[in-house]
Amino acid sequence: MNSYRIALNFEDGVTRFVDCGATEKVLDAAFRNRINLPMDCSDGVCGTCKCKAESGAYDLGDDYIEDALTEDEAGQGLVLTCQMVPKSDCVIAVPVPSTACKTGTAQFGASVTEVAPFSDAAYELVLDIPENAPAFLPGQYVNITVPGSGQHRSYSFSSAPGERRVTFLIKHVPGGLMSTWLQGAGSGEQLQMTGPLGSFYLRAVARPLLFLAGGTGLAPFLSMLEVLAREGTAQPVHMIYGVTRDQDLVLVERLQDYALRIPGFTFTTCVADPQTAHERQGYVTNHMPAQALHGGNVDVYLCGPPPMVEAVQKHFKAEGIAPASFHYEKFTPNQPAA
């Protein structure tokens, strides 16, 4: 019997994947995997199991009543997991924390393959993870324990899901815990990770996309772009990648490669430093053409420091644009995970 992979993304950012048979209800598949999704009647009457399908094809089922799920709600992607049967792999946002469903994050080990520095700006960390390591969604992160410190830092995968070799783009922070460890790290060293985590992942692509990356906030977009390159998309995708200093602009050649592999993908870069030699000085908001906003018919994804999120929100307001959706991940290098 065919089965589909269902990603359950809980309110606290924890994600668990379950296999669901082609005629099986998602609630039952979760139960088989000891994940107690919210439920009461399991008959399509109470609405307690209502979740949001973020991507994938599915059959809503015929046995529920309007009080449990209205037509409007179904139109917005809401589903009853006690009735829903998947017709493809799906991502489902569950509106309660993972602990309320008696599940949580997974822990797994990883082995260092390479640490590649980009001048004094960043590192690319390449790791091998075990075959049974948990899957992740493009855009998600893990917490990596810095060996010997008992502390962890959060990093988004810059590689696409489904590979045993995974990569991360890590900002170099002088004197920072992870930066200091990376400077002496060699191949074969072991790391402990917890995850995957986060609600910043690529949803079903239903309209044009605008990706806004700040510094090493580029990482999750590399994961998303690899997925778009593999799966294809009919929608235009524009990225604006802004950094502080010239040397912070790393991996531009990968973006050039994606511009060749993904029809409709374009990008620009900019540097905030007033002394920059780069052709575009300024912030991402200074280099955002009106056509990239598609009059609001656009899904915006942003990963960058908190002031960038605020600046972009202000920019949209000033332009009188309300994007169809705005997903963002704020990160502050050298901080313990929130």
> Is 68 an interacting residue with respect to ligand FES (CB under 6 A)?
yes
CA–centroid distance for 203 within its chain: 9
Nearer to ligand FES, 78 or 144 (CB): 78
CB of 24 to ligand FES, least distance (A): 15
- Of residues 38 through 67, those in contact with ligand FES by CB under 6 A are 39-42, 44-49
Cα-Cα-Cα-Cα dihedral of 96, 102, 104, 107, to 10°? Answer: -170
Residue of the chain from 18, 79, 82, 300 that contacts ligand FES (CB under 6 A): 82
Strand ranges in 234-273 using DSSP code E only, listed in sequence order: 237-243, 265-271
| Spatial CA neighbour of 301 closest among 70, 154, 137 | 137
Burial of 132 (0-12, 13-18, 19+ CB in 10 A): exposed
CB of 103 to ligand FES, least distance (A): 18
> Is 6 an interacting residue with respect to ligand FES (CB under 6 A)?
no
Nearer to ligand FES, 68 or 288 (CB): 68
Nearer to ligand FES, 49 or 270 (CB): 49
> Is 80 an interacting residue with respect to ligand FES (CB under 6 A)?
yes
Nearer to ligand FES, 67 or 257 (CB): 67
CB of 55 to ligand FES, least distance (A): 21
Stretch that binds ligand FES, among 37-45, 119-127, 134-142, 182-190 (CB under 6 A): 37-45
Strand ranges in 172-219 using DSSP code E only, listed in sequence order: 190-197, 209-214
Nearer to ligand FES, 45 or 229 (CB): 45
> b/e string for 281-302 if b means 16 or more Cβ within 10 A?
eebbbebbeeebbbeeebbbbb
| 252-261 and 219-231 helices, crossing angle to 10° | 20
Nearer to ligand FES, 103 or 158 (CB): 103
CB of 75 to ligand FES, least distance (A): 18
Q: Are 9 and 93 in contact (CB under 8 A)?
A: yes
| Spatial CA neighbour of 52 closest among 35, 34, 30, 69 | 69
> Is 100 an interacting residue with respect to ligand FES (CB under 6 A)?
no
Q: Are 108 and 193 in contact (CB under 8 A)?
A: yes
Nearer to ligand FES, 82 or 142 (CB): 82
Using CB under 6 A as the criterion, which residues of the chain lie in contact with ligand FES when the complex forms?
Answer: 39-42, 44-49, 68, 80, 82
